[in-house]
Amino acid sequence: MTRPRTAHPWRGVLLAILAAAIWGLAPVAVKMSFAGYSPAIISPIRLVAAAAMFRALSGRGGRWLPRDRWSWIGGVGLGIDYVLYNYGLRWTTAGAAGLVINVEVVTTIALAIWLLGERFTARRVVGSLVTLAGVIYVATEGASVRDLVASEHVLGNLLVMLAAIAWSLFAVAQRKVAHTEGLFRLLTPIFSVAALTSLPMLLFPGALSGPGGTMPSIMLAVLVLLCTAAVYLIYARAQQLVDVSVLAIVLAAIPVFAVLFAWLLLDEPLTRRVLLGGAVILAGVLLIATEREPVKAVQPDEAPMLAQ
């Protein structure tokens, strides 16, 4: 039986904001990791380590590889996202990447409506428009039109957008998986497939080269423990409480957190534009989070499978 739930579970929204904050740290940590490691090796390290941690926490009865096709689809999508995002971030500016990555808001909502049967109400439409307006206002600072269309940045921006689409596929596929055995057993097969998807990158010339170093290694550890393992547990829990389309809108705040972490860790300026844009984004998120109209939602363990 499908259980009714309201579209304003504050716990789920707060978890989504926490996930957005942690993912906002990821671009800064990735940039700092590049000083000691190649883009090709960062993704496999993050995914293999996370899969191993999830498997260890699954206990007896856990498994490495999926038994259902949605876990395979989600794992491949996640692996492609990691690979494309790392290379895209290497070949474009952080400001431009922070802007174009928000294509995932549109693709995630579209896939959630199509595959999960979620409703996109008028309140969510307004909230998403307000949120995206704030994101664009913040992200366009330091990202000129030339950053978006310059020949040396076009490939990077395209890779970032493709990474966003791949992540949307992961987000919706994960919701389609019947996971009644706990989060660790849900995530282990998905991350194992994602790790396998990223391993061919190690065959690239120079993939295993790099000076390493203390700070790049610390940042790589942060990426593994916080920005991969911990944040996906938080996100998976938030998915159980909030519609995927709502999560997509809340996660649009990631660029604001990225700017804040860049200010803290890289001494980049924190401007009035960022503060004002952050306030607009918060207004959009609150507009959605306070929606009180009951919304019927398909539960993760009850989602109908598409025709085999």
Q: Domain span at residue 278?
A: 16-292
Q: Is residue 139 part of a domain?
A: yes
- Which tokens go with 125? 């439409």
pLDDT at 50 over 50: yes
Identify the pLDDT of residue 292.
63
| pLDDT band per the 50, 70, 90 thresholds, residue 295 | very low
Average pLDDT of the segment spanning 41-59: 94
Task: Give every CB contact of residue 52 below 8 A, 6+ residues apart in sequence.
Answer: none
Q: Is residue 232 part of a domain?
A: yes
In total, how many domains does the chain have?
1
Q: Is residue 1 part of a domain?
A: no
| pLDDT band per the 50, 70, 90 thresholds, residue 224 | very high
Identify the pLDDT of residue 254.
84
**This prediction's pTM:** 0.81
Q: How many CB atoms lie within 10 A of CB 151?
A: 6
Q: How many CA atoms lie within 13 A of 28 on its CB side?
A: 22
pLDDT at 289 over 80: no
Q: Alpha-carbon distance 90 to 33, whole Å?
A: 11
pLDDT digits (tens, 9 = 90+) for 205-214: 888 888 889 9
Q: CA 124: distance to chain centroid?
A: 20
| pLDDT band per the 50, 70, 90 thresholds, residue 104 | confident
Distances (CA, A) of 168 to 51, 60, 64, 171: 20, 31, 23, 5
More confident residue, 252 or 82: 82
Q: Is residue 162 part of a domain?
A: yes
Q: Is residue 302 part of a domain?
A: no
pLDDT digits (tens, 9 = 90+) for 241-284: 888 888 888 887 887 788 788 788 877 667 777 778 778 877 87
Q: Alpha-carbon distance 239 to 253, whole Å?
A: 17
Q: Is residue 303 part of a domain?
A: no
Identify the pLDDT of residue 304.
32
Average pLDDT of the segment spanning 73-81: 97
Q: Alpha-carbon distance 97 to 40, whole Å?
A: 18
pLDDT digits (tens, 9 = 90+) for 156-199: 888 988 999 999 999 999 999 976 678 899 999 999 999 999 99
Q: Is residue 275 part of a domain?
A: yes
Three-state DSSP state, 4: strand
Q: How many CA atoms lie within 13 A of 271 on its CB side?
A: 11
CB 98 within 8 A of CB 89: no
Q: Is residue 126 part of a domain?
A: yes
